[in-house]
Amino acid sequence: MGRATKIALLDYGMGNLHSASKALSAVGAEVSITNDPKVVAAADKIFFPGVGAMRACIAGMHEAGIDDVIRHAVFNKPVMAICVGMQALFTESAENDGTPCLDILDGQVKAFDPAWTDEKDALIKVPHMGWNTINSMDFEHPLWHGIADNSHFYFVHSYYCEPADSTQVAAVCDYGQPFCASILQDNLFATQFHPEKSHSAGLQLLKNFVEWDI
């Protein structure tokens, strides 16, 4: 039996660390909750969580040095970001009347338009909270192994990512309008939904990330 995959779960004071750590451990990872660059450097993979308002999250990243850690890691090892962690990768967020983000990926984070309507012609509720289906661009990719089209995942957000490069979109979700639910660029993978709160499909996705060989 080989050794467990070492994952650095980045701590900058704003992530859902306990539930993410528990879920990653459940699928076989050895998890270190850390903002220590040495621990991050020694890890096999990086997990970048995020919960809360973007301006406070970016400030926490700067204070903890996580912004530099992420910029270095995306060129060196597999990285998975979730929710606000995914949004933080882009150029700017509309949240808090405009917040510069990490600008690792070119694109904007936009607010849901409450005038959008669903398939029953009812106005959507903002935030988007609860279970929704996703459709992947490529369910043959190893990150989606064992996950069926239209699988349900758990969302909690008022903003969504719009990459400048549409080829980075790995999955979409429909909430009044289709929006980017996941991105994939080389060794960088991110989801707007919370896999750690998404029961069996979410655990399968985390297991796929832990076992992802690139």
| Active site residue ranges | 83, 194, 196
* Cβ atoms 5, 30 nearer than 8 A: yes
Under 8 Å between Cβ of 51 and 15: yes
**21: alpha, beta or left, given left = phi > 0 and alpha = psi -120 to 50?**
alpha
Closest among 26, 98, 33, 18 to 66, alpha carbons compared = 33
- Across-strand partners of 108? 92, 162
Helical (H) or strand (E) element with 206: helix 199-211
* Helix, strand or coil, per DSSP, at residue 83: coil
Phi (first) and psi of residue 101, to 5 degrees: -105, -160
| Angstrom distance (rounded) from CA 87 to CA 202 | 19
